[in-house]
Amino acid sequence: MAGDKKYFVLQENGEDSATVFASKQARGAALKAASRGHTSIRLRERGTSRVHVFDGWREQKPAPKNGPSWLGDTVWRANVKKQGIDKS
């Protein structure tokens, strides 16, 4: 359902930034942030004071064999590890 989507605001230097990621879960939003190169990820869930804290990284991997021709030989693969939730 479309109503299941939540919005997560990326925090930079302890302040909300203009970057917002939409996902059903915080991990999905964190993966989007990691794919854009963020490593220390703090996402505030809109409408709450909860801040989800993740470590993120991305690695270059070989492209899938059945990928489109425009994709190239390597792709970036994002990963995240949840560190916890700040409820301050």
pTM for the model? 0.85
List the chain pLDDT tens, one digit each, 88 residues: 556 899 999 999 888 889 999 999 999 999 999 999 999 999 999 999 899 999 999 999 999 999 998 999 999 999 999 999 998 7
pLDDT of residue 87: 82
What is 41-65 written as a DSSP string? EEEEETTS--EEEEEEEEEEEEPPT
pLDDT of residue 1: 57
Three-state DSSP state, 1: coil
pLDDT of residue 60: 94
Question: Shortest CA distance to 5 belongs to which of 22, 19, 29?
Answer: 22
CA distance 49 to 36: 24
pLDDT of residue 2: 59
Q: How many CB atoms lie within 10 A of CB 14?
A: 7
pLDDT of residue 4: 87
